[in-house]
Chain A
């Protein structure tokens, strides 16, 4: 069976500090991978998605970036965090041909102070 991991579960970072969130998927090959963010009281917003190693599509302009160094690893980064980066970050994966059915990880709750 497939599983998706995210870490850390929670993170408190000062403004201006760097960020690295990691997501890994087990039990499948060549999945589509996604990063979403949910600000407090808001809906989910797609940030990035990837259809393969090194292939990243950005949905919104921001100070975040994503990378996919390995087939089942997806990393979300920032060089300098802003207060507005606080939120609940979710990684998800899908089969290539069934992209409407996405499987979400447990999420990382980021607080920027």
Chain B
């Protein structure tokens, strides 16, 4: 599995876009990039995933660089409820487990 590097913590103002980077320079060609978040004292929540193309859903957008060595999760209009730890996880589609690193602790400030 590819290793990832994420900032330990980030702050963002409420209503602004939160951009969370992830470096996964050793990712292999058939590993997807998954993003999860964990709000305090809750289980992790799936956000989005992608392989090569940028992806968007109701929660967020995922931008993957052309060389696939890094990606950015974008929360377009952050709210206080988006305060959480965000995990970037490369994984083969057929793999049977997620490996959670330390993630980025995102704090949304009023």
Contacts and interface: CB of A to CB of B under 8 A. Distances in A.
Interface residues of A, number: 25
Nearest to A91: B43
B96 A32 contact: yes
Given A44-B44, A92-B43, A105-B43, A99 B102 contact: no
A107 B96 contact: no
A100 B44 contact: no
A101 B97 contact: no
Please report whether the interface of chain A is mostly helix, strand, loop or mixed according to DSSP: strand
Interface of A: 32, 34, 43-46, 49, 51, 57, 59, 88, 90, 92, 97-107, 109
Given A46-B97, A97-B93, A100-B98, 16 more contacts: A32-B96, A43-B100, A43-B102, A43-B103, A44-B100, A45-B100, A90-B43, A92-B43, A99-B91, A100-B89, A101-B49, A102-B46, A104-B43, A104-B45, A105-B43, A107-B41
